[in-house]
């Protein structure tokens, strides 16, 4: 962070601690857009995401006195909006926890993964840097059950550490590690299936295009 930015942030925090309403408006204008992006990753309904951001901003204004300043203000707000998003998820009617067993690796007696081939598609060979492929991966993440999807988002996308994720979700860190590992396995299966389906479509279209 540049010196001028750091000075401006310190001044904003000082004004917020003093209860300056204009400072709160400045914080909303400066950070709400990024916070909404975070909330949308957890909440598929736009209004839920906006409600989470609103709750997060109000919580931040009320708790600004407890902000020690050891991290950037944006980092602190980031964690608050993740918490607010999780609270929005909890407000929804609870669904039975969905299973991902069918998406997990199936091993043969020799220890080989039975579903590895996926019609010749290998995840390592996929052009994941391509925009359309990244969007496909996001779609696959959205297909994961919430209890796995949220852990993957928090650890891999939001880059929170395991202990912090465990505290937010009220779970043991080892449980978070297992859930993340299973989420990775399930996501790999979903991605390979989508790539295989796309590959199949391309093969079917090729004869038609050559006519």
Whether the predicted pLDDT of 64 surpasses 70: yes
Whether the predicted pLDDT of 158 surpasses 70: yes
Report the predicted TM-score, pTM, of the whole model to 2 decimal places: 0.68
10 Å CB burial of residue 3 (0-12, 13-18, 19+) is exposed
Q: What does CATH list as the number for 101-209? A: 1.10.10.10
**Mean pLDDT, the chain, whole residue set:** 78
Whether the predicted pLDDT of 209 surpasses 60: no
> 174 or 13, which is more confident?
174
Q: Positive or negative, the Cα torsion across 85, 91, 93, 95?
A: positive
pLDDT above 90 covers a percentage of the chain that reads 30
> 206 or 14, which is more confident?
14
Residues in a beta bridge with 113: 107
Q: Where are the domains of the chain?
A: 3-91, 101-209
Those residues with Cβ within 8 angstroms of residue 208's Cβ, 6 or more apart along the chain or in another chain? none
CA distances from 66 to 69, 76, 169 (A): 9, 11, 22
Band (pLDDT 50/70/90 cuts) for residue 131 is low
Torsion angles phi and psi, residue 63, rounded to 5: -105, 10
> 206 or 65, which is more confident?
65
Please give the structure tokens belonging to residue 38: 């975070």
Considering only CA atoms, which of 67, 52, 50 is closest in space to residue 14? 67
The tens digit of pLDDT for each residue in 46-56 reads 999 999 999 99
Whether the predicted pLDDT of 204 surpasses 60: no
Whether the predicted pLDDT of 78 surpasses 60: yes
Residue 51: its pLDDT value, please?
A: 93
Domain 3-91: top CATH class: mainly alpha
Q: Do domains 3-91 and 101-209 have the same CATH topology?
A: no
**CA gap 183, 181 in Å, rounded:** 5
Q: What is the mean pLDDT of residues 151-169?
A: 90
DSSP tag of 107: B
């Amino acid at each position: 962070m540049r010196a001028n930015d750091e000075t401006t942030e310190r001044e904003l925090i000082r004004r917020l601690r003093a209860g300056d309403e204009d400072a709160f408006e400045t914080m909303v204008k400066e950070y709400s857009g990024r916070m909404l992006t975070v909330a949308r990753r957890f909440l598929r309904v736009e209004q839920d995401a906006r409600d989470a951001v609103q709750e997060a901003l109000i919580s931040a204004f009320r708790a600004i006195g407890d902000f020690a300043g050891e991290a950037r203000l944006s980092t602190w707000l980031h964690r608050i909006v993740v918490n607010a998003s999780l609270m929005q998820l909890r407000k929804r009617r609870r669904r039975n926890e969905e299973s991902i067993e069918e998406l997990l690796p199936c091993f043969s007696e020799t220890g080989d993964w039975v579903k590895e081939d996926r019609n010749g598609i290998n995840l390592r060979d996929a052009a994941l840097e391509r925009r359309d492929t990244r969007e496909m991966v996001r779609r696959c993440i959205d297909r994961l059950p919430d209890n796995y999807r949220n852990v993957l988002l928090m650890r891999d996308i939001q880059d929170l550490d395991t202990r912090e994720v465990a505290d937010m979700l009220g779970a043991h860190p080892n449980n978070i590690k297992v859930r993340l590992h299973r989420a990775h396995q399930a996501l790999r299966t979903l991605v390979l299936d989508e790539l295989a389906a796309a590959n199949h479509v391309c093969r079917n279209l090729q004869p038609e295009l050559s006519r």
